[in-house]
Amino acid sequence: MLTLIKHAECYAPKKLGNKDVLIAGTKVIAIDDNISLDCSINHEVIDGNDFILTPGFVDSLVHISGGGGEAGFASRTPEMQLTDATQFGITTVVGALGTDNISRTHTDLIAKAKGLKQEGLNVFCHTGSYHLPATTLGHSISHDIMYIDEFIGLGEVAIADHRGRQISLKQLATAAAEARTAGLLSGKRGTVSVHVGSGLTKLELLHQVADTTDIPLNQFYPTHMNRNADLLTSGIEFCQAGGTIDFTTSTTEYDLANGELAAAEALAYCLEKGVSSDLLTMSSDGHASLPIYNVDNELVGFDVGDESSLLASFKQAVTQFNVSIEHALQAITSNPARILGLRKGQLLVDHDADLVLMHKKTLAVHSVWCNGKKMIEDGDILVNGFFN
48/67 with CB nearer Zn ion: 67
Smallest distance, Zn ion to C-beta of residue 96, A: 8
Cβ distance to Zn ion smaller for residue 20 or 156: 156
Q: Which is nearer to Zn ion, 195 or 374 (CB)?
A: 195
Span 145-184, contacts to Zn ion by CB under 5 A: 156
- Sequence-separated (6 or more) residues with CB below 8 Å from residue 84: 286, 287, 306, 307, 308
Q: How far is the CB of 384 from Zn ion (least distance, A)?
A: 29
Smallest distance, Å, CB 129 to Zn ion? 10
Q: Do 286 and 306 touch, CB atoms closer than 8 A?
A: yes
In the complex, the smallest distance separating the C-beta of residue 90 from Zn ion, rounded to whole angstroms, is: 18
| CB 68 within 8 Å of CB 99 | yes
Residue 3 near residue 35 (C-beta atoms within 8 A): no
Residue nearest to Zn ion (CB): 195
HSE (side-chain half, CA atoms, 13 Å) at 316: 17
- Determine if 195 is a binding residue for Zn ion (CB under 5 A): yes
Nearer to Zn ion, 189 or 195 (CB): 195
Q: How far apart are CA 74 and CA 66, in angstroms?
A: 12
Q: Are 142 and 177 in contact (CB under 8 A)?
A: no
Say whether residue 63 binds Zn ion (CB under 5 A): no
Q: Which is the catalytic residue, given 285, 303, 306, 354?
A: 285
Nearer to Zn ion, 31 or 158 (CB): 158
- Find the angle CA(93)-CA(312)-CA(366) to the nearest 5 degrees: 80
Site string for Zn ion, 111-150 (x = CB under 5 A): ----------------------------------------
96 vs 363 by CB, closer to Zn ion: 96
Per-residue HEC secondary structure of 17-80 comes to EEEEEEEECCEEEEEECCCCCCCCCCEEEEECCCEEEEECEEEEEECCCCCECECEHHHECCCC
Binding mask 234-253 for Zn ion (x = CB under 5 A): --------------------
CB of 299 to Zn ion, least distance (A): 16
Would you mind telling me the total number of residues written for the chain in this entry? 388
Considering the complex, what minimum distance in angstroms separates the CB of residue 224 from Zn ion? 6
**Distance (Å, whole) CA 367 – CA 357:** 5
Of 5-13, 119-127, 193-201, 365-373, the window that binds Zn ion (rule: CB under 5 A) is: 193-201
Q: Count interface residues toward Zn ion (CB under 5 A).
A: 2
Q: Is 214 a catalytic residue?
A: no
Read off the amino acid at residue 218: N
Please tell me whether residue 327 binds Zn ion under the rule CB under 5 A: no
Q: How many C-beta neighbours within 10 Å does residue 174 have?
A: 17
- 167: which residues sit within 8 A by CB, 6+ positions away? 131, 132, 157, 158, 159, 205
Contact set with Zn ion (CB under 5 A): 156, 195
Active site positions, annotated: 285
